[in-house]
């Protein structure tokens, strides 16, 4: 299996997760390649920070036989964007892609206004970047934090509404067309039917656009958040049954390209304070189990858990067999964290 969207924390965030522990759990789950997101501390927005992160991860990656890469983060500084393009060219596949946060999330790396986002696309185009641009899509101006009600965790979905994702995806596709961006646009952790429809329409126009989906957005809804509270708080939040069903159907039918865990553990203390993010490895295995039970062909499962992601990033030929003992691995993975929603019997 392949998981190209993880947050392995470490450093000052080691109480939440470490690269050593995260790769050990990933390996136990049957995951043989991961890509770490840049909103760690320090953020991966410079060549020096990337090299330090890769050096930190190298012994654990070798020990657990998991190929480790990072996505380098982007800022609104043209010089930084050019450095990121050069670093990607120099270090690929250790640096797999570049990441844009089109809305604020954990780490506060957001580039939230449309003019700054346009600058990112223009600079990438002028620098002849042909790689993958990964985007966290939540339009900042459409977020409604005043709608969150303390203690009613399902209202997180009102504070970060469906429209915020849909319109952000619309913006990213529009900027791709406007600037002539010739790389590949990947929408991370897609969670809404409307956003998925925009991705499909862009593909129909011949644009190089893909999307990934998580287990939690494929299996759970805002009703689960109402029942299980802060332990199901993440960005983007859980959605309606209609959205959930559209994402699941997209995985089965092919409009969603691949599964990404968005593995993002926190301490219990941080979750009590309302931190967004959940462990993701057990959930991915639960999703695999559900898809198998629903009769999805093995070839399609290999596509969405490995082959499609590897092909997108130019890593053809690395796909491996899907893991056996799926539920045993899922329970073991969930037990490695102080909380994991997929350890809740009703969810697992």
Average pLDDT, the chain: 96
pLDDT at 42: 96
Task: State mean pLDDT over 133-142.
Answer: 97
Q: What is the pLDDT of residues 230-289, one digit of tens each?
A: 899 999 999 999 999 999 999 999 999 999 999 999 999 999 999 999 999 999 999 999
Q: Which of 30-34, 81-85, 104-108, 194-198 has the lowest mean pLDDT?
A: 104-108
Does residue 318 surpass a pLDDT of 90? Answer: no
pLDDT confidence of 129, banded at 50, 70, 90? very high
Q: Please state the φ and ψ torsions of residue 3, each to the nearest 5 degrees.
A: -140, 100
What integer pLDDT is reported at residue 228 of this predicted model?
85
Q: Quick one: pLDDT band at residue 345, thresholds 50, 70, 90?
A: low
Tokens of 194: 């409307």
Angle between helices 78-91 and 47-64 (to 10 degrees): 30
pLDDT tens profile 149-188: 988 989 999 999 999 999 999 999 999 999 999 999 999 9
Reply yes or no on whether the pLDDT at 196 is more than 80.
yes
Residue 347 has pLDDT above 70, yes or no: no
pLDDT bin (cut points 50, 70, 90) of residue 108 is: confident
Q: Reply yes or no on domain 2-343 having CATH 3.20.20.140.
A: yes
Residue 305 pLDDT class (50, 70, 90 cuts): very high
Choose between 227 and 9: higher pLDDT.
Answer: 9
Global pTM exceeds 0.75: yes
d(CA 167, CA 171): 6
Please give the residue that has the higher pLDDT: either 227 or 180: 180
Residues in the chain: 348
- Supply 158's token pair: 């009102």
Q: Is the pLDDT of residue 107 over 70?
A: no
pLDDT of residue 344: 67
């Amino acid at each position: 299996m392949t998981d190209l969207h993880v947050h392995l924390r470490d450093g000052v965030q080691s109480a939440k997760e470490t690269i050593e522990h995260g790769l050990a759990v990933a390996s136990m789950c049957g995951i043989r390649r991961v890509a770490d997101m840049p909103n760690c501390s320090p953020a991966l927005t410079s060549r020096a920070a990337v090299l330090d992160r890769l050096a930190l991860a190298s012994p654990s990656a070798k020990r657990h036989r998991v190929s480790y890469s990072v996505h380098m983060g982007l800022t609104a500084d043209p010089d930084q964007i050019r450095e990121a393009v050069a670093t990607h060219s120099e270090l690929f596949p250790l640096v797999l892609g570049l990441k844009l946060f089109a809305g604020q999330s954990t780490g506060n790396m957001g580039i939230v206004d449309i003019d700054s986002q346009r600058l990112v696309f223009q600079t990438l185009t002028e620098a002849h970047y042909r790689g993958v641009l990964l985007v966290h899509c939540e339009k900042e101006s459409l977020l409604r934090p005043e709608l969150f009600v303390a203690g009613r965790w399902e209202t997180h979905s009102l504070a970060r509404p469906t429209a915020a994702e849909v319109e952000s995806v619309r913006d990213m596709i529009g900027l791709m067309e406007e600037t002539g961006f010739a790389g590949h646009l990947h929408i991370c952790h897609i969670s809404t039917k409307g956003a998925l429809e925009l991705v499909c329409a862009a593909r129909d126009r011949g644009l190089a656009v893909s999307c990934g989906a998580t287990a939690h957005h494929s299996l759970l809804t805002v009703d689960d958040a109402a029942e299980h509270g802060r332990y199901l708080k993440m960005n983007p939040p859980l959605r309606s049954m209609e959205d959930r069903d559209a994402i699941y159907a997209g995985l089965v039918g092919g409009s969603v390209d691949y599964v990404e865990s968005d593995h993002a553990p926190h301490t219990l203390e941080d979750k009590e304070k309302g931190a967004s993010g959940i462990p993701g490895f057990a959930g991915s295995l639960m999703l695999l189990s559900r898809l198998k039970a629903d009769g999805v062909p093995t070839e399609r499962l290999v596509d969405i858990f490995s082959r499609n992601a590897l092909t997108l990033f130019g890593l053809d030929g690395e796909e491996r067999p899907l893991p056996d003992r799926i539920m045993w691995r899922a329970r073991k993975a969930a037990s490695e964290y102080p909380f994991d929603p997929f350890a809740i019997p009703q969810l697992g």
